[in-house]
Structure 1
Amino acid sequence: MPPKKAAPKKLHELAPEVRVGFKIDDISKKTYIVGKQFATGGFGRIHTCTEEGKSHQMVMKIEPSTNGPLLTEVVVFNRILKKEMIEAYKKTKKIPWIGLPYIIANGYFTYNGDKMRYMVIPKYATSLEATRESNGGTLSVKDSLTVANCVLGALEYLHDSDYAHADVKAANILLEKEGVYSTSVLVDFGLAHRTTNNVDKPDKKRAHNGTCIYTSTDAHRGNNPSFRGDVEILAYNLIMWITGTLPWLALESSPDKVFDSKQKFIAGLPGTLQNVLTSQSPAVVGCISTMFNVSMKTNYTDKVDMTKLKKLVTDTIQTSVGEAKKAQGKVKKATEDVSKAATPKKSTRKVMAIVESEDDDDNVVEVVPKKKVAKVQKPRKVMENESGGEEEVYIPKSSKSRKLKPEQDNSSLGSSTRSYSNRLGVTSSAASTVRAARKIEQKYKRLSTNKSSLVPVTVGDVSDDSEDDGAGTSSGARTKRSSDESVRNGVELKTPALVAPAVKSNHNANERLNYSCFSEAKYKSGISSATKASPTELRRVPGVRNFPKGRRSMIIKETASKYKEKRAARKSKPTFDDSSCSSEL
C-alpha cells in the first residue's frame, strides 16, 4: 500500500504575536521598538513602533517571511513609493498633495526561531472605514467625492508608474487628520500589480481576486488587475459610501452571483444607478455613471484619463454644495412659512377709545383712535403776573419754601383756562378743569376767612386805595407797569417761597373775580404790613436776597420807611372787612 501524501502546506500563515518592546535592528543601523498591535492585515499584524531615542510613532507591518502579500507590497514601495520619488512627481505635476504613503524601513528579523518580514511606514490618524461606521455606515456626498478625488490622484501616480492597485476600499484609505477628507491616503499594496505584461486573457485560477463586493468585472473573469478596473472599483465604493449598501451586498458569499449582479447593473446604466441613488441630485448620479462608462469604454491595457475624471469630480463637488445650499434655503423658507402660518398675526387695527360727546344731548358715542400725546414737561411752579395771567417761575433748590399740598379738583374753570393750558402744552380734560376750578374756590375761601395762603407778593409803590381796602379799584382794571416805572416807584418781588400751586387760568370778563378783594387779600395772606415795615424781617424774605447787596439795602430801607408811614395812616382808617370777598364768592 503506497504511503499517504503529506497535506499541502498553506500558502499564507498568520504571523505570531510579537511582544511590545521587542527591538529590531535595521540595515540602516537604526533600531525600531515594536509597540502595541492595533490591527491585522490579510495574514500579517500591524503594530505601532518608534525609533530608539525618539517619540514619534510610526506603523510596522509584520508577516512570516514565507507570505507573499507583504513581499509584494515591499517590492512596490521600494520601486515607486520612496519619499524622494513622490516629492519629485509633485514638483513635476505642480500639485501640493498625493495621497500615498512612503517607505521608511524594511527587512527581516528572527522572533522565537521564526523568520519574520517587516516594513515601516508613516502613521495616520484613522481609517475611512472607521469613520464611515461611526457615521452610521454612510458619508455625505461632499465628503465621499472629496475622498474619491484624492484616490484618483493616488491612482494617477500608480498608473503613471505602471501599477494598478486592485483593492480600493474604505479600510485601505487612511485620514491624516480625523474629519479631514482632503488629505486621504491610499494604502495596502498587497494586491498591486505591474501592468506592463497584461494580456486580456482570463484565468479561472485568478477569478474573483480582491474584495468580492468591490472588485472589478475584469477580476471576476480572472484577468490581472487593470487601470480601468481601478476606476470601476472606485465607482462601486462611491455608491457604498453615499448609500451604505450595494445591490449585491447580500450575495458576498457567492462570488459568481455577485459577478452576475454587477454585469446586469452595468448593462442597465444609468437607470439602475438612479434606482440606487434615489435621493441624490442628477449631478452626482451623472458623475458616478460617467466613471462606469469610462471604465467600460477603455481598453483593457489602456490608461484612463485621470485629469478629466478629477475635473468631473471637482465640478460635481461644487455643484452638489450649491444644490445643498439651495435645498437648505428652501427647507428654511418652508419652515419659516409653516411657523408664520402657525403663529397668529398681530392685529393691525388701531386701539380705539370710546368718548362721550359733551355737546350732544342724546349722548351719542363716537369712537376715535387713541393718539399718542408727547409728554410735555410741566413747569415746576406757575405764578400770577400783574395782568392777571400766569407765568412760569424757576424755583431755586436753595429756596426754603415749604412744599404745598396739591389742591382738590375745582369744577368751575372756563374756556380761557383751558386755552391757557393748551398753550402750555398740557392736554386739558374735564377732570383737570374741575380740579383747577376747585383750587381757585378753596383759595378764595381761605382768603375770605383770613387764613394764611402763600400767594405772590408785590413790594413796591402802590396806591393808597388799593393798599387800604381796594374799594376804588375796579375788578378788571389792573394795569401793567413798565420796567422803568418799576425801577422808579418800587421793586416787584415775586418770592418763590410765597408762590401758590399753579392755577392755569385766564379769567374772562364773566369769570374774573373782584380784583380789589384779591389784591387786598394777597397782601394780607402774603407778607404782613409789620414785616414790610421792619427792615430786619424784610431781609429774611428769600426773594429779597436775590437783589445785589447794595441795591437790596436801599430797597429794604425805602420799603420799610414807606410801610411805616402807611401803617400809621391805616390806623386812622376803617379796618378792611373780608366778608365782601366771601359774599362775592
Structure 2
Amino acid sequence: MEIDWEKLDKLSDKLEIKVEYFVEQIENFGLMEVPEKIEWLQKHFPEIQKRFMFANKYFLIGRLPEGFYKKGYAAIDLFTREKVALLLLKPETMLGGHIHSELPATNIFFNENRASYNLKHPNIIEFYDSNITEDNQLYIAFKLEDAITIEDSLRFIRENTDGDRYSESLVIKLMLYVSKALEYMHNKGYIHGDVKASNVLVNRENYAKLADFGTVRKIGDPTRILGSLSYTAPEVLRGEPPTPVSDVFSLGVLGYYMKYGELPFKVAEQDWPDGLVEKILTFEPEIHPNHKFLKVFLEKNPKKRLKNGAACRRVLNWLQSAPVDHRILFDLFRMPYRLLERFIYYNNFEFIGGRSYEKESG
C-alpha cells in the first residue's frame, strides 16, 4: 500500500483519511504481530511523523470536539497502544511560542491538568499523561472511552428515531453515576463547575463518566470561572462563589435535558445572554408530576436544594429502587416545612439549608 502524500496534503481535513490508511495496521492487526506492517511503517515513518505524530509518541487518528481554549484529537500511544483523547492548548493562547501563565486560558489548562491528575474515580474519565513539547505545546491526554457524550447521544436519537429524550429510569441511572462522581469530588474539596450534557460520557451499557475539568476549583476558591451559562446556578449568576450546591443545580439541568430533550431555560438568540440570565433567576420550568424529583435539584434557593453530591447520590439511589410511585414521594414537597423535615430525617436524606437530618447511630 502506497500513499499519495501530495494528494493527502491537499485535503481540507487530513485527519479523515488517516483512519483508513493507518489505524487498521495499528489497531486491528497489531504492530508487533505483523512484521510487514512494521516494515511499512518504518519505511514511511518520516512522512507519517510529519503529518500525524504528536510529541514523538501519539499517532493522531481523528478529531474530537473543541473547547473554547483547547482542541482535541483521538490518538494512539505507539509505545503502549493505548487509545487516548489528546487535548491541546489552542495556539491563540500562546504568545511568541512561549507559555504565558497570566493568560486565563493557560491558567485554566494548568488547573485542568492538576485536577485531572488528582481525581481518580470509576465515574470520572481517567487521566493518562500531560506534558509540554519541545516547541512549547501544552497537552493533556485521557484514556479514550468507548463512549459518546450525552449531548451526542441525544442528537443521534433526534436524528435517527422518533424520540428526543431518555426514559425516566435511564435519566435517574445516569444522574446517579454523575452524582457519585460529584460526591467524590466534593469530598476531595473540589467543585466541578461545568456539569452538562457534553461533559458526560455514556457507553453502550449506559455507564456514565464525568469529563472536562477546566472549570474545576477548590471549594472556597474565589476565582470566577463560569461554566456553560444554561447550566449555571442562580446564586452564581448573582455573583456568589460556586459551591457544591451549585453543581447540584447543573445536575438538575442535565436531568431535565435528558428527560425532556430540551433545556429548562432557553431564550431567542437575540436575547442571549441577558435574557437567559433573567430566565434562570426568575422562571420556573414546567415539570410533569411524574418527574417532580427534578425540583429538588432545580430549586432557585440554594438552601432548599440538595446540598452536595452525596445528598444527590442518596436520593437518586433511593429513587432507583423506590417502592412507591415517584409522584407520591414528591407530593411530599407540598407538605408544611416542619413535616417535610421530619420525613427527610427518617429517610436519611440530606438537603434543605445544608443541614443534615441523618438519624444518630444507636
Normalised-by-shorter TM-score class = 0.5 to 0.7
Is 1:228 paired with 2:245?
A: yes
Match of 1:292 among 287, 293, 298: 298
Alpha-carbon offset, residue 37 of structure 1: 2.0
2:75 to 44, 49, 52: 49
Letter in 1 for 2:113: V
Give the match for residue 281 of structure 2: 263
Match of 2:232 in 1: 215
- Counterpart of 1:149 in structure 2 is 176
Aligned 8 A contact 2:233 2:300 in 1? no
Partner of 1:99: 123
User: Which secondary structure does the structure 2 equivalent of 1:304 belong to?
Assistant: coil
TM-score, with normalisation over the residues of structure 1? 0.41
Instruction: Name the SS for the 1:104 alignment partner.
Output: strand
The one of 313, 317, 321 equivalent to 2:320 is 317
Alpha-carbon contact 1:101-1:186 (below 8 Å) kept: yes
Q: Is this contact kept in 1: 2:248–2:312, CA < 8 A?
A: no
Which residue of structure 1 aligns with residue 24 of structure 2?
none
- 3-state SS, counterpart of residue 183 of structure 2: helix
**Aligned residue number for residue 72 of structure 1:** 111
Moved more, 155-164 or 255-264: 255-264
Contact 1:24 1:33 in 2 (8 A): no
- Aligned letter for 2:219? T
Give the root-mean-square deviation of aligned CA atoms.
3.1
Identical positions, percent:
18
Structure 1 runs of 4+ off > 4 angstroms?
A: 17-20, 319-324
Q: Supply the AA of the counterpart residue of 1:256.
A: D
CA distance in 1, matches of 2:326, 2:218: 41
Retained in 2: the 8 A contact 1:46–1:60?
yes
Cα displacement (A) at 1:60: 0.9
* Superposition deviation, residue 294 in structure 1: 9.3
> How far is the alpha carbon of 1:48 from its aligned partner?
1.6
Tell me how far apart the structure 2 counterparts of residues 103 and 305 of structure 1 sit (CA, whole Å). 24
Question: Relative to 1, partners in 2 of residues 1:184 and 1:20: Cα closer, same or farther, differing over 3 Å?
Answer: farther
Q: 2:263 aligns with which of 210, 221, 246?
A: 246
CA deviation profile, 1:96-128 (whole Å, cap 9, x unmatched): xx31123211011145xxx21011111112111
| Residue of 142, 150, 154 corresponding to 1:121 | 142
Where relative contact order (Cα < 8 A, 6+ residues apart) is larger, the structure is: 2
Normalised by the size of structure 2, how large is the TM-score? 0.64
- Paired amino acid for 2:132: Y
Alpha-carbon distance in 1 for matches of 2:212, 2:152: 16
Post-superposition offset of 1:141: 1.3
> What's the secondary structure of 2:140's corresponding residue?
strand
Would the aligned equivalents of 1:73 and 1:192 in 2 still touch at CA under 8 Å?
A: yes
Rounded to whole Å, the distance in 2 between the matches of 1:108 and 1:239 is 40
Q: Secondary structure at the match of 1:224?
A: coil
Please give the alpha-carbon distance, in whole angstroms, between the structure 2 residues aligned to 1:20 and 1:99.
34
Listed as ranges, the matches of 1:126-525 within 5 Å are: 126-136=148-158, 137-175=164-202, 177-178=203-204, 180-181=205-206, 183-198=207-222, 206=224, 209-251=226-268, 254-265=272-283, 272-273=284-285, 276-278=286-288, 280-281=289-290, 284-285=291-292, 287-293=293-299, 296-297=302-303, 304-319=307-322
The number of aligned residues is 260
- Name the CA distance, whole Å, in 1 between partners of 2:88 and 2:198: 18
Secondary structure in 1 aligned to 2:58?
strand
- Structure 2 CA distance for partners of 1:19 and 1:220, relative to 1, 3 Å: farther
AA matched with 2:74: T
Give 1 or 2 for the bigger CA radius of gyration. Answer: 1
